[in-house]
Structure 1
Amino acid sequence: MPSVSIPSTVLQRAAPAELGFDVGRLGRIREAIDRDVAAGLIPGAVIGIARHGKIALLEGYGFRDKTAGTPMWADAVFSIASMTKPMVSVGIMMLAEEGRLLLGDPVSKFLPQLAGMKVAKSITSDTLETVPAEREMTVQDLLRHTSGLTYQNRGTSAAYRAYPVHGTSAALSKDDFLVQLGKAPLLFQPGTTWEYGLSTDILGFIIEAVSGQRLGAFLSERLWQPLGMADTGFELTDHTRERYARALPKDPLTGDPLVVHHATGKVSKWESGGGGCVSTVADYLRFSQMLLDGGVGNGQRILGRKTIALMTSDHLGDKIVNRLTQTMDPAFAGYGFGLGFAVRKEQGLSAANGTAGDYYWSGVYGTYFWNDPTERMTVVAGIVAPGPLRLRYRQLIRSLVLQAIVD
């Protein structure tokens, strides 16, 4: 299998052994990915690992386009889907640090179309009945996914069907989308239950309302350019299109066609803060290392240290119903949720290896990152696995990386 590495422009490289890795054990990453490429499970992958502020590994494996036989280089561009969410969450916290919004502010203060939303009596009934919300959803609710908002495609009952279609397939303008969303029911009373959905898209709309900029322009000016994330954005460009990593034609488990939305050439009518970006592993390492370093990246202060600490703390506690493992990934039991990330609360329970206090997020097309503050390590995986296999790689990459740490 082709396996190609390139010099890192993210952080200074160091020998893996100097960063506490056993080189032989680290080689198991290549072996495992090569096996899966040969078995036809994935086309290829890019794995980036930084520890103690230096790059231990940034390497491509397999194919960027298996059909064309194009090798996977380490600068491949991926549709990162929901890994857009942590970046948008950082954008909201920038505005909070400037006093331009409060986490306790009602969402309707910025988006009046979402005032007075009702709550579904049942999330399983084929008939929609609603009750008044006991309180309005807040900015904090959006950040920790306790707003009550969901995605239309997460269920088939009347409550889910009332939601407008999101993403590149959406036919609505942003304004029309918000009007239609305001008529849809919340699945749960705000602040009571973790439910994955449109919350971070709404955060993106709030950034636009407060800043007066398009979401991509704001993130480019305030986050991507300061960190040197030149290959990150909401659309492919002439510079990134030729390096775009493509999925296999069909899911190896189900036989279903695999479609990654940037590969279709469709352009969304609005920039999705919940899942619209493309990026490279190297670019995302710049972002994740900034988080690990307490808000400083590329020599610039992006967020305050205490803000990062707040974001990476659990915000669900014992009273909010946590549906993360029930509805997303059963292997990650023992995780709560912060302001943009799933946060590990204890060493046990989870089938995935890790450390109490680590935090992660992932994308529906297969990309994944996690930070381990105790080990001073950040890991980013670029994998195009849009189907059920993506759950396997979230565990596998953790296992392969952590077993290689010896010091």
Structure 2
Amino acid sequence: MKRAIEKDTEKGTYDGAAFIVARHGKIAMHEAVGKTDLEKNRKANVDDVFFIMSITKQLTTTRVLMDIEQGKFTLNTPVCEIIPEFSIKGKQKVTVGHILTHTSGLNTELPFGLPIDQVGNIETVTAAMSNERILILPGKMVSYNAIAAFSILGALVQRLDEKNRPFRQILKEDVFEPLGMKDTALGLPDRLKSRIVPVKVRDKTPGLFDPLLLESLNFLATEETELPAGGAVSTVLDIFRFSEMLRRGGTFNGLRILSPDTVKHATTIHTGNLPNHLWDYCREMYGWPVFPANLGLSFFIRGEGIFPTPLGLTTSPGTFGGLGAGSTVFWVDPVRDLTYVFLSAGLLEEGHSIMRHQRLSDMVVAAVID
């Protein structure tokens, strides 16, 4: 496993990575390979702080599910019941569940005219999305919403918070601190800047994301930046702690974050056989087949069949996890009781990144001998 990653970095496929493999909650491998800042010739370290990209979605989802457990709203609650200004241009029936399963029918890109320096402002993004029209009837199509829709979820939680805390503080106090995720934050606090891995796109293949948009995190991310879809920073050990909470059914170190039934529901496929239209460009570029989206409540699920998947082809069908743009992945295989976290530097085009993750994930499974 380590040698395979070293070969990747030696070829310049990506710069470096930190990763963990664990079985039954016991860490078997906790390594850092290559470099995480080529310009400074900085060697990768296990405590490097990475922009985890869309793994942020699973962190946000966890806090949304906590509100559902407390009865503040349900998956069937229309967004406009909590955000009244959202109830125009055909969005009246968009529910919390639609957003979590990427079946809302909302614009999957940034709202038209939204300045890039406002992407990290939850209320500004929510206002812009509220003024957008519905593009597809809710529940009829899966189209992964990479950025904007999860700001709406952040706004839901924020507006119902009894302490009137900003969403970054809600995540810190209600999720990160209980799990001991001391090196995780929404936004980039000053205390973590010395260890941050800069976002650099190494694979210049035109694809899903504009490299300039991804690399803008280097100068846009501050202590107050709130991008619930992809703006968190963390270490490989902290994401392992989060994964452990999920593997254990919502509890970690004796503290309950979610109930076992909620975790099971969140990591069950809710999109049927619908494909994820995010990958239409990969079907054309790389000849990928049409395959089910296999999405739970923001979680990616392995499912069954042979097709490109970052979770590996040999993991069990119920394996669940998260994926970050061109760089990061984590998954839990509940049958093998196996956990894998991989955070990398030097971003790949998304299609290439998924095939990289698939190859390495299958190597992790192949190492299990009993």
Given candidates 326, 336, 340, the residue that maps to 2:298 is: 340
Write the distance in 2 (CA, Å) between the matches of 1:235 and 1:281.
17
Partner of 2:152: 202
CA contact (8 A) 1:148 1:187 kept: yes
State how many pairs are aligned.
353
Question: Contact 2:154/2:167 (CA < 8 Å) preserved in 1?
Answer: yes
- Whole-angstrom distance in 1 between the partners of 2:201 and 2:78: 44
Partner amino acid for 1:192?
A: K
Higher-Rg member (1/2):
1
Query: For residues 165-199 of structure 1, what are the alpha-carbon distances to aligned partners after superposition, in whole Å with 9 as ceiling and x for unaligned?
Result: 47x53379544433332222222101111112232
37 and 350 in structure 1: CA distance in 2 versus 1, 3 angstrom threshold = closer
CA deviation string 1:360-398 (max 9, x = no partner): 221114111111111111111011243314233221221
After TM superposition, the score normalised by the length of structure 1 is 0.79
For structure 2, which runs of at least 5 residues remain unmatched after alignment?
A: none
| Equivalent residue letter for 1:283 | D
Aligned residue type for 2:297: L
Query: Residues 314-343 of structure 1, C-alpha deviation per residue, up to 9 Å, x if partnerless?
Result: 11124x564354367858944511112111
**3-state SS of 1:336 partner:** coil
Within 5 Å, which residues of 2 pair with 1:267-278? 267=222, 271-278=226-233
**Among candidates 209, 212, 215, match of residue 260 of structure 1:** 215
Structure 1 residue 61 corresponds to structure 2 residue 16: no
Percent sequence identity is 29
Runs of 5+ consecutive residues of structure 1 not aligned to the other structure? 1-28, 119-132, 154-161
1:398 aligns with 2:361: yes
Q: Do the aligned residues in 1 keep the contact of 2:188 with 2:223 (CA within 8 Å)?
A: no
Whole-angstrom CA distance in 2 between matches of 1:151 and 1:220: 27
Alignment of 1:107-256 (within 5 A): 107-118=79-90, 136-152=93-109, 163-165=112-114, 169-170=117-118, 174-197=122-145, 198-211=148-161, 212-248=164-200, 250-251=202-203
- The Cα RMSD (Å) is 2.6
Bigger shift: residues 276-285 or 388-397: 388-397
Q: Deviations over 1:1-50 (max 9, x none)?
A: xxxxxxxxxxxxxxxxxxxxxxxxxxxx1111111211122111011111
Partner of residue 70 from structure 1, selected from 42, 52, 61 = 42
Distance 1:252 1:304 in 2: 43
Amino acid paired to 2:60: V
Pair 1:38-2:22 in alignment: no
Is 1:85 matched with 2:57? yes
Question: 1:3 — aligned with what?
Answer: none
Deviates more, 1:382-391 or 1:79-88: 382-391
Once the two structures are TM-superposed, the CA of residue 95 in structure 1 deviates from its matched residue by 0.5
Q: Secondary structure at the match of 2:160?
A: helix
Could you tell me which residue of structure 1 aligns to residue 71 of structure 2? 99
Q: Structure 1 residues 68, 40: CA separation in 2 closer, same or farther (over 3 Å shift)?
A: same
Matched to 2:268, the amino acid is S
The answer as to whether partners of 2:120 and 2:226 remain within 8 angstroms in 1 is no
**Bigger mean CA offset, 362-371 vs 98-107:** 362-371
- The match for 1:283 is 238
Change (3 A) 1:208 1:194: same
Match of 2:248 in 1: 293
Q: SS at the partner of 1:217?
A: helix
Distance 2:356 2:142 in 1: 24
Q: Check if 1:356 corresponds to 2:317.
A: yes
- TM-score normalised by the chain length of structure 2: 0.87
